[in-house]
Structure 1
Amino acid sequence: MNLSAPFIRRPIATALLMVAVVALGVASYPLLPIAALPSIDTPIVQVTAQLPGASPQIVADSVTTQLERQFGQVPGLSQMTSSSGVGYAQITLQFDRSRSLDGVSTDVQAAINNTQGQLPASLLDPPVSRRTNPADAPILLIAVRSDVLPITTVSDYADSILAQRIAQIAGVGQVLVGGLQLPALRVQLNPALMASEQLSFPEVRRALARLSVEEPTGQLYGRQQTFALTTNDQLLTAEGFDAAIVAYRDGAPIRIRDIGRTVKAPQDETLAGWIDGKPTVILAVQRQAGANVVETVASIRARLPQLRASLPPGIDVAVVSDRTTTIVESLDDVRRTLLLTIALVVGVIAVFLRTVWATVIPALSVPIALLGTVAALYPLGYSLDNLSLMGLSVAIGFVVDDAIVMVETVVRHIDEGAGPLEAAVAGAAEIGFTVLSISISLIAVFIPLFLMGGVVGSMFREFAATVAVAILVSTAVSLTLIPMLCAKLLPPRRQDAPGRISRAVERMFDRLFALYDRGLAVVLRHQAVTLCVMIATILTTLGLFVVIPKGFFPEEDTGLILGIAEGAQDSSPAAMKAAQQALLAIAARDPAVANAVGFVGAGGPTVTENDGRVFITLKPFGQRDVSVFQVMRRLDTALASVPGITLYMQAAQDITIGGRLSKTQFQYTLTDLDPAELTVWGSRLADRLRALPVLSGVASDRQSAGRTLRLSIDRATASRLGVDPAEIDQTLYDAFGQRHVARLYTALNQYYVILEVEPSYQFGPEALRRIYVRSQSGTMVPIGEIATAVPDVTPLAINHQNQFPSMTLSFNLAPGVTIGTAVTAVEDAAAALRMPPSVAHGFEGNAKAFRAALGGMAPLILLALFAIYLILGMLYESTIHPVTILSTLPSAGLGALLALMAFGRPLDLIGLIGIILLIGIVKKNGIMLVDVALEAERNRGLSATEAAREAGRLRFRPILMTTLCALLGGLPLLLATGAGAEIRQPLGLTIVGGLIVSQLLTLYTTPVVYIYMARLGHRLRRGSTGERPRVV
């Protein structure tokens, strides 16, 4: 059956069909979203709550645990992590990928509503849920500052206008505001003056709550008019509060100014942010799960001029880091790679075929196949990203192969004397089955990728679909358009002598062919030796696969360094601010750094007051000669000179698996019901990991050595004096807890009135002796008479995983070390400790995904081989010859692994995809050899040896041509530089290395394997004449 004949005889219909494919591709291209990588987001929701002044233990017990109990009942919850700090709780909920983000958001909000009655009344606001992953790097950093306005005013506009409006833009999950110092009124009381007036802190608090309110007051109605009732019930100024009367003593009013003062100051004085040494509010924009980064950032940038115009003069708004810059650069590089690949492949065709139309016809298959693929990507919901564009680049070698084989066959028939139409029909009939079988078996290679589960499977499914669709389109083009164009455009057999260049090229091919022919004759005379070489190749390939270092996903140079600064656990806010500014100043002086911004303080992006965030943006690739990893190592050395603080850094990556924000890149988590036991074993493991030379930046999220003063109440004395423990707690909270006692409502925002003791009474344990509580008899009793302050240690943060106390150790890789080596070292260190069964431990995030991917590498390759064997067995109705075709693969694997090792690269997921691609590319050569050999045996009665030699001789040129096309398709990837080169290079290495070694070996080993398999088949069939391949 000649599938191509109807299309050859109906050229107009065939041409119009291809025009329709091209039109669909052109129309679909601008509609495809642009991204760094395929979307692999899992539904993640983050919940935060604030309880100002509460210790981490109180926050964990009264807020976090209550919420966790409700969240644990939400269907599809796969992991729940939480962190409770001073006055702040943060819970991250990660769900199964089968659940929609909208659905889980609704369920989470319902759980929050169910918890409201169990939460403390002093909770600042109801818990807030956001659809964002806290572990993701921000897609945009915006610095807001002013040289003329106070930072409180800048903060007010940044939080009330910029952050709110940006959060409304589609694709934005959350706008974290770092260094936020919102304006507030702070009522600072003098305990000595209060004691002289017989006033307690709770009395003043209750009075302040009554003095400034905003309540509904109703309306009055006249016969013709309606009057809304309003009052001056709010006090909005410091002067108003200073004059406010809080009590009477002997008929005389006691005002705030008599016992203290009211000042305008930041709501939280522990927060601060900087850029270039100047106070700054930093907006860190995080995307919503599933949102397209490029589109979201473009929308924000388009909105920024309008937002700037709405701010007062003197406020400067500047984008200091944009993640899409390197994404767009990387995609532009891949597009250029695509064009270069097309040019190289067309050049190969021109060199081999050496006529205009014989070059143009197969070259036309490339844009048609690529545009047809683009047309299919849109309805499939895929994007233009590094993987899909790499798939298109690699597919060029595939899509042109079928067209080359078709044109080469037709040209051969023309050279033998047939006319163009007759040659097209005959050539299509001869080669059609081969083209179809090659394409079907090539698509079978990707079946395992389609069946892969989890995050890795989701990511590579798009790559596999891109290449598979390109193969399908190119097969259709090769069986329809190409033979039709050959019939219409190829000239009859040329009678004139070829030109000088053509003769020179032909002489070169003749020498290569003669060299191959002589080598093949030698090989066929020493078949046993050749078979031994092939067996040695298989064993060597297996050995290299075992010993080669394994990786997960290439670490990218995105031009952004994420840092978490950890101060001493007893650092004061002032000391932390000074140390953070010193870090930023040193980082900004590095010649490769464009800017460095950072902020400190708990409540928002960080949970503890001794932690800070740092974002270091590097200069564009053309303006620096070092990678982001070299900059990190350089900064590690420079920043070590800053006392009292450590900056843990990691390069921002496009792939972040899991929802846990850690100080360095990879995570190992321990959980235990007993927090004390957890601390002991976690600390021992941390010490062991720090001693491992393969790791760097080992950090822990457990900070259990914060300083605390534990008040031991003498209950007998307190009872005798008539003082309740509740009164003591309330007094301490009023004096030292930054207690929010009233809200001030304005047109722009709402502000807080904060009660506290005067700053001079906030330093040192001795301040407690000067705080008084009221007894039941009305006398004022110093706290020092009924309680003793005992120094102690306390955790600065309490972390949970799935409601169990947890401790996460994070680490980076030492230079030149792969994640596979590091994972083995960490597992060995953990095993050597012999931790008790009560301590559960294991990898999380990217390291956990690597462990899962590592276990699937070998099965994935075996499954691909099995799928090809099944397809080939059905196509050839044989169990023997598929083995012959598959025998071409070990040499390709050997070349790929040798290339990776020669360039010091691990076998990671991109390299694995390269090996899967090699299986498809190399087996095409085997199919072409086997097809010719089988035809020679069946139709002309040649022996297996004669048929094998004739197949090698006849298919030498097309195999050489198609291999060169595929090789040149991978060469630009191998030579890639700039943004995204880390992703493209492993793919190029495996393809180029595998094809070079395969080309040198399989042209000799495949004929020998064919002969042995033919003999085996004859013995099994007891003299049968052979198998006739047929399409099933």
Structure 2
Amino acid sequence: AVAIGMVVDDAIVDVENVFRRLRQNAARPDPEPVLGVIARASGEVRSSIFYATVLIVLVFVPLLGLTGVEGRLFTPIAVATIVSMIASFLVSLTLIPVLCSLLLRPRPGADHPDGWLVRGLKRLLRATALRVGLGYPVPVLAAVGVAVLAAFSLYPQMGKDFLPAFREETALVAATSAPGTSLEEMNRISDAIEEQILLVPEVRQVGRRLGRAERGDHVVPVSTAEFDVDFRAPDGGGPGRPRREILEEIKARVRTVPGVFAAVSGPLADRIGHMMSGVSAPVAVKIFGPDIDELRRIGTRIEALARTIPGFEDARGDQQASIPQLRIEPDRDRCAAYGITPGELNDRLGALIGGRTIAELRDGVRAIRLVLRLPLEWRESPERIAQIPIQSGPQRFFPLGAVADVREAKGPNVIFRENGQRRFTVAIRPSARDAGALVERLAQEVDRTVDLPEGYFVTYEGEFQARRDATLRIGILGGAVFVVVLCLLTGYFRSVSLALQVLVNIPLALVGGLVFTWLLIGNISIATLVGFIAVGGIAARNGIMMLSHYLHLMHREGEGFTRQMVERGTLERMVPVLMTALAAGIALVPFVLAGDAPGKEILHPVAVVIVGGLISSTLLDFLVTPTVFYHFARKAALGALARGAAAAG
């Protein structure tokens, strides 16, 4: 979708130049052979098309370095664009000249002027951008510089997100009760929650599950219920209430059920948050240390601090509580006296109490495991467990109580570990954008008010961290690509000055991208950065086409470095520049208009940036490129011609 407009750019530039040369040839008294004119005209733009295609391919290379969720989402965009641009260049190299020879047949001996629209646009361009830019360069460049600085000042004002907010068609409500809540009690609580959710008019149906399997990758106790909420279409076919308002009502109704903590999100956002930090939340504050009670104390304090920050009201710590436990603590000295190790003892008790699979039965395609373990009345009685006979030799048996202390006690319902260390987690679902700024504020509050004993430390993880890592990776790879592009352009123009002038078009494109993002979205995500990469490549491509045509006119058509040459070159390149911009922009307009449609969340920010950047880069390119070239590039242009630059054709 991103490349659908760019893939025709090579063909547009090639066909426009061929058609212009064919019209000029048809108007001559002695026209040359058509095939020779087509071959020569196509060759005039061949090198500039090649370098422009290489530039587009290179600017998408940083996306290939993305990993994790962002890599899964945006690497296919980069691969599709790179392959499409290479295929587009090959088509313009082979098929387009053949089609031009078959389809473009201007009538010999007749004038072939531009159409009325093109003539009007050229007059407008000559009377405005060219007249002002070439006549008053300092005020024009100063005004453009102010516009660029003003647009770039919008960047720090916008929120920073990892991914755009997903507009999912369903919602996920996660409700947690006190640890140790029984399945029957949680079922009754879930009935009350479900009744409250169904009171929302837009809700069509609700499904729920209590806990998750212990052998799954995301273990959840039965004290946690998850509700999948499906919505009905608005009555009358209208837009209905905003989804945010509906979710807020669901959240408010669920909170009326006493004894539960509930969070509302989308299924996809919930899964992404879990992949980012290991918990089902976009932000996770993890406290590591040796003592469970101390971890809980620090975590409870951080949870209270988070709830004082607007946007972090839905902070929730791990649901840990003391529950009745049956403890079996082996005595190493007594075990040694009886000739058994604690490890062997644990293995045998695990089989007797937890069970051990001794066979597998088959009933057709159904597999049934045969498990051997003690009966329930033995497993729940400390006295009987203490009397379990343990064998330490061929004829030697002794009761478990002789080598281990068997007693009832209190202990935590769950102990979380990560990288071999105990941890307590505060999961946060931000209700405001720019979670990164909120996390920085929370970290400052924690550093200022929470004293961490020796051996304890806090980490902050989640989507904001993934955004920072991805932004840094794109920045590093982008810098490397910038150096490679600068070297290629320097070799193409045989001038560092002209290469830098091509790259000046990139900030001009970012102006429109930033303004449109600020107006239509209001925050920066990885998808927005992808749009900046794409539009920067398109803008630099137009600069290559413009400057190479100036040099071609001077080298091949006898033009001097004059104002007339600059005006002619700009006007002759106006049509392909406008057509490539329109082709790329029009293809993305549906994604710009579909900002609220589910499934368009990733492409919408990309399209907004590209369309805005195309508008600014196209308009400012006609103003800045001829102005800078005419007033500051005389020496560089003459030097490039003297050195036989490939850009001169």
Instruction: Please give the TM-score of this superposition, normalised by the length of structure 2.
Output: 0.80
Instruction: Give 1:599's aligned residue.
Output: 210
- Shift in Å, 1:738: 9.5
CA distance in 1, matches of 2:154, 2:499: 25
Could you list the per-position Cα deviations for residues 605-649 of structure 1 after superposition, in whole angstroms to 9, with x for gaps in the alignment?
675755223141424778884676554322111111111222333
Q: Distance in 1 between matches of 2:415 and 2:258?
A: 26
Structure 1: tracts of 5 or more residues without a match: 1-392, 714-725, 777-786
Change (3 A) 1:549 1:465: same
CA deviation profile, 1:726-777 (whole Å, cap 9, x unmatched): 9xxx9xx99xx8999999978453577874469xxx9xxxx999x999899x
Q: Which residue of 2 aligns with 1:401?
A: 9
Aligned match of 1:553? 163
Secondary structure, aligned partner of 1:658: helix
Q: How many residues align?
A: 595
* Residue in 2 that maps onto 1:1003: 622
1:971 partner amino acid: V
- Post-superposition offset of 1:663: 4.1
Q: Partner of 2:80: helix, strand, or coil?
A: helix
**Which has the greater radius of gyration?**
1
Q: Could you tell me which amino acid in structure 2 is paired with residue 571 of structure 1?
A: T
* Contact 2:170-2:230 at 8 Å conserved across structures: yes
Q: CA RMSD in A?
A: 4.0
Secondary structure of the residue aligned to 1:417 is helix
> Which of 504, 511, 522 does residue 120 from structure 2 map onto?
511
Distance 2:370 2:232 in 1: 42
In structure 1, the residue corresponding to 2:93 is in which secondary structure?
helix
Residue of structure 2 aligned with 1:706, choices 306, 310, 322: 322
Establish whether residue 564 from structure 1 lines up as the match of residue 174 from structure 2: yes
**Larger RCO (CA under 8 A, 6+ residues apart):** 2
- Cα offset, 1:397, TM superposition: 1.8
SS class of match (2:167):
coil
1:135-146 to structure 2, matched below 5 A, reads none
1:717 equivalent in structure 2? none
Change (3 A) 1:918 1:423: same
User: Partner residue of 1:347?
Assistant: none
Q: Is the 8 A contact 1:669 1:809 kept in 2?
A: yes
State the partner residue of 2:417: 800
Deviation at 1:497? 10
Superposed counterparts of 1:24-103, under 5 Å: none
Q: Distance in 1 between matches of 2:466 and 2:62?
A: 18
Judged with a 3 Å threshold, the aligned counterparts in structure 2 of structure 1 residues 454 and 870 are, in CA distance, closer, same or farther, namely: farther
Shift in Å, 1:712:
13
1:892 maps onto 2:500 in alignment: no
Sequence identity of aligned pairs in percent? Answer: 22
Specify the SS of the correspondent of 1:1000.
helix
Structure 1 residue runs of 4 or more that deviate by more than 6 Å after TM superposition: 494-498, 620-624, 709-713, 737-746, 751-754, 771-776, 787-790
Shift of 1:569: 3.2
Mean Cα displacement is larger for which, 623-632 or 423-432?
A: 623-632
The match for 1:687 is: 304
How far, CA to CA, are the matches of 2:354 and 2:68 in structure 1?
A: 46
**Change beyond 3 A, Cα 1:1018–1:888:** closer
Q: Which runs of 5+ in 2 are unaligned?
A: 330-341, 390-404
Matches within 5 A, 1:526-541: 526-541=136-151
Q: Which residue number corresponds to residue 518 of structure 2?
A: 901
Residue 251 of structure 2 aligns with which residue? 636
Q: Residues 751, 963 of structure 1: CA spacing in aligned structure 2 closer, same or farther, 3 A cutoff?
A: same
Residues 541/935 of structure 1: CA separation in 2 closer, same or farther (3 Å cut): same
1:380-407 residue CA offsets vs partner (Å, 9 max, x unmatched): xxxxxxxxxxxxx222222211111111
User: How far, CA to CA, are the matches of 1:772 and 1:429 in structure 2?
Assistant: 91
Alignment of 1:1-20 (within 5 A): none
TM-score, structure 1 length as denominator?
A: 0.52
Contact map agreement 2:177 2:186 (CA 8 A) in 1: yes
Amino acid at match of 1:704: Q
The residue type equivalent to 1:594 in the other structure is: Q
The separation in 2 between residues aligned to 1:1010 and 1:998, in whole angstroms, is 16
In the aligned structure 2, how far is the partner of 1:825 from the partner of 1:587? Answer: 34
Alignment of 1:270-289 (within 5 A): none
Query: Is 1:579 matched up with 2:189?
Result: yes
Per the alignment, residue 616 of structure 1 pairs with: 228
Structure 1 match to 2:402: none
Letter in 2 for 1:469: V
Could you say if the C-alpha distance between residues 744 and 887 of structure 1 is closer, same or farther in structure 2, counting changes exceeding 3 Å?
closer
CA contact (8 A) 2:212 2:221 kept: yes
How far did residue 474 of structure 1 move? 0.7
The reply to whether residue 965 of structure 1 matches residue 583 of structure 2 is yes
Q: 1:974 to 1:997 in 2, by over 3 A?
A: same
Distance 1:699 1:743, change over 3 A: farther
SS of 1:981 mapped into structure 2: coil
Task: Give the whole-Å Cα distance in 1 for the aligned partners of 2:357 and 2:492.
Answer: 80
> Following the alignment from structure 2 to structure 1, what is the Cα–Cα distance between the partners of residues 582 and 148?
24
Alpha carbons of structure 1 residues 824 and 772: separation in structure 2 relative to 1, 3 Å: closer
Between the aligned partners of 2:480 and 2:159, the Cα distance in structure 1 is 22
Name the SS of the counterpart of 1:982 in structure 2.
coil
Specify the code of the residue in structure 1 equivalent to 2:251: D
| Distance change >3 Å, CA 442–CA 612, structure 1 → 2 | same
Task: Give, in angstroms, the shift of residue 958 of structure 1.
Answer: 1.6
Q: Distance in 2 between matches of 1:854 and 1:437?
A: 27
- Structure-2 separation of matches of 1:535 and 1:660: 42
- Contact 1:905–1:986 under 8 Å retained in 2: no
Contact 1:670 1:840 in 2 (8 A): yes
C-alpha contact 2:285 2:427 (8 A) present in aligned 1? yes
- Quote the offset at 1:530 in angstroms: 1.8
- Equivalent residue letter for 1:650: S
Q: Deviations over 1:568-588 (max 9, x none)?
A: 235344322211222233334
For each residue in 1:153-201, what CA deviation from the matched residue of structure 2 results, as whole angstroms up to 9, or x when unmatched? xxxxxxxxxxxxxxxxxxxxxxxxxxxxxxxxxxxxxxxxxxxxxxxxx
Native 8 Å contact 1:600 1:613 kept in 2: yes
Maintained 8 Å contact 2:527/2:605 = yes
Deviation at 1:850, TM superposition (A): 1.9
Distance 1:775 1:1016, change over 3 A: closer
The one-letter code of the counterpart of 1:819 is A
- Deviation of the 1:871 alpha carbon: 1.9
Q: 1:533 to 1:863 in 2, by over 3 A?
A: farther
1:60-97 alpha-carbon deviations (Å, 9 max, x no partner): xxxxxxxxxxxxxxxxxxxxxxxxxxxxxxxxxxxxxx
Shift in Å, 1:650: 2.8
Residue 117 of structure 2 aligns with an amino acid whose one-letter code is M
Amino acid at match of 2:17: T
Is the contact between residue 914 and residue 990 of structure 1 (CA under 8 Å) also seen in structure 2? yes
1:980 counterpart residue number? 599
Q: Establish whether residue 672 from structure 1 lines up as the match of residue 289 from structure 2.
A: yes
**1:939-958 aligned within 5 A:** 939=556, 940-943=558-561, 945-958=563-576
1:480 aligns with 2:94: yes
- Counterpart of 1:652 in structure 2 is 267
Residues 881 and 1013 of structure 1 are in contact (CA less than 8 Å); yes or no, is this contact kept in structure 2? no
Counterpart selection for 1:844 from 461, 485, 489: 461
The answer to whether the Cα contact below 8 Å between 2:286 and 2:423 also exists between their aligned partners in 1 is: yes
1 or 2, which has the higher helix percentage? 2
CA distance in 1 between partners of 2:472 and 2:186 (Å): 44
Measure how far apart 1:936 and its partner are: 3.0
Confirm or deny: 8 A CA contact 1:739 1:756 kept in the other structure: no
**Structure 1 residue 416 and structure 2 residue 24: aligned?**
yes
| Corresponding residue number in structure 2 for 1:875 | 492
2:131 to 489, 500, 521: 521
Counterpart in 1 of 2:394?
Answer: none
Distance 1:789 1:643 in 2: 35
Letter in 2 for 1:595: V
